Every structure is written in structure tokens, then in C-alpha cells.
Amino acid sequence: MARFKLTIEYEGTRYSGWQFQKNSKTIQGKLLEAVKEIFKNQKIELYGSGRTDAGVHALRQTAHLDVTTMLAPEIIRMKMNDLLPADINILEVEKASPKFHARHDAKQRSYLYQISRRRTAFGKPFVWWIKDELHLNRMKNAAALFIGMHDFQSFADKDDEEKSTKVLINNITVEEHGALILIRIVGSHFLWKMVRRIVGVLAEAGRGKLAEADIHRFLEEYSSEPAKLTAPPSGLFLEKIYYTESAAENTTEPFLNISAVTFHRK
């Protein structure tokens, strides 16, 4: 049996997240359908680097595929893309070590969130439009408070698969690109709904409705308030999975330029 590393992009609007669910449409489910069609009557295993929530997108999700085949990686990629819907695309298939694990070997993950300052006819599935004025410096100051090792119990829904709510955040950047505010979060891993709640809190800080003392309190003791501020999934993209100890590049580019729809540049 051979192991392959898959790099995948997808628009999550129509899906109930990454993870396979028996009675729901998911990204992993669609990938498995394609793989089973190509490798009929074979034992197949497909593992992702982590789950994305319903409606969340991915620019470079990583998965590994175990299958017995003589097909070249590029042929596997083309055959899978022929069978996948238009909103899921395999960017790359590579041969991998049998010991490589898409989830367990990941050192860092980065997410990108897009807030739009204006109403958009084209970008609604990819942004969170906020009508209120947002003060960028307040958001940047609030973002700095999350960097480091913290207990994010206030920022996560209960998940039986997670043994701890402590997460190392390596970096958060908040930048302005035209009508977009881009929030890029790099961390060791992320809890269920954690990124969207951080974004919701940053937006509330940008509105001037949360002080830095409030954020300190959320990180020091449990509070249900961040859950009420959860940002919508539309603006969230899993950006990249990192498999080396080197830090993720500190650059933030929009996936969607509201003035002219463009594709993300690698």
C-alpha cells in the first residue's frame, strides 16, 4: 500500500465541514467518493490535517491517502479532479513516506479571515461584511494579547476529541487591503470554532465595545461571551499546513480582491 500527500482547495459554502458524516455533504465525503470510484474494491484510507467547520473554505488543506496502486501521482490528481465537483480541487498529489501523517506531523497551521468594510455583490460567500466602523489599531492591540500559550476554553465548543484547551498562538496579523481587513492567525493547532471566536472578539474590540481587560479575562477564566460573538464561517479560510519547525511566513494577502475578483496567489 502506498501513501500519497494531497493538497486540496475548496469552497466550503455547500458543505457541512471537512469531516465525513453519513447523512451530510462533506469535503472528505466527496473525496472518498472520487477515490472509491477510481480504486474500486480496494481498501482506502484518507486522513485530513484537521477539520474545518461547515461553510469554511480552504486554500491549501492537506490530507494523506493510503491505496494500493501503480498510478503516478499526477494521474491520480487528474482522475480525482475529473470526478470532483467544481468547488473542490486537488492542487497537488505527491508520494509520501509511509510514516507521514497529515494531522500528527503538522507543526503549525494558518488561517485567514476576511472582513469587508463594504457591501459586495460578488464577495458575500468569502467575507464578513461589517457595517460598523472598525478601528484597525484597536484590533491590532487586541490581537497581540492572544499571542503565546493560553487556555482557550472561552473560545471553543466542547469537543470530546480534544484533551486540552491550551493552544500556542505563534502570530496574529491584522492588515488592511482596500475594502478588506485581513486577519491571519498562525498556531500549533486550533479548537472547534476557536478562530471564528477570536475574530469576533477582535471585531468587537475594533468597534470599541471590548477593552483589553475583557480579553485578558476571557483568557484567564471561562466566559460564554466569545461564543455570542462568533464570526460567520463565510470569511474563514484554512490557509496552509506547515510540516517543518520553521515559522510560517509573515505575509497576508487577500483571497478575494473586492474591486476585482482574483484567485489567491501561492
Length in residues, the chain? 266
Say whether 38 sits in a helix, a strand or coil. helix
Per DSSP bridges, beta strands 128-129 and 108-116 are parallel
Question: In whole angstroms, what is the distance from residue 173 CA to residue 253 CA?
Answer: 11
Active-site choice (53, 82, 132, 159): 53
The one-letter code for the residue type at 163 is K
Task: Decide: 90 and 41 in contact? Cβ < 8 Å.
Answer: no
Question: In whole angstroms, what is the distance from residue 69 CA to residue 146 CA?
Answer: 45
Give the distance, in angstroms, between the CA of residue 79 and the centroid of all CA atoms in the same chain: 26
Question: In whole angstroms, what is the distance from residue 24 CA to residue 12 CA?
Answer: 13
Residue found by looking up cell 484547551 in the block? 165
The verdict on whether 53 is a catalytic residue reads: yes
Cell of 13: 459554502
Burial class (CB in 10 A: 0-12, 13-18, 19+), 87: middle
Question: In whole angstroms, what is the distance from residue 68 CA to residue 183 CA?
Answer: 41
Active site residues: 53
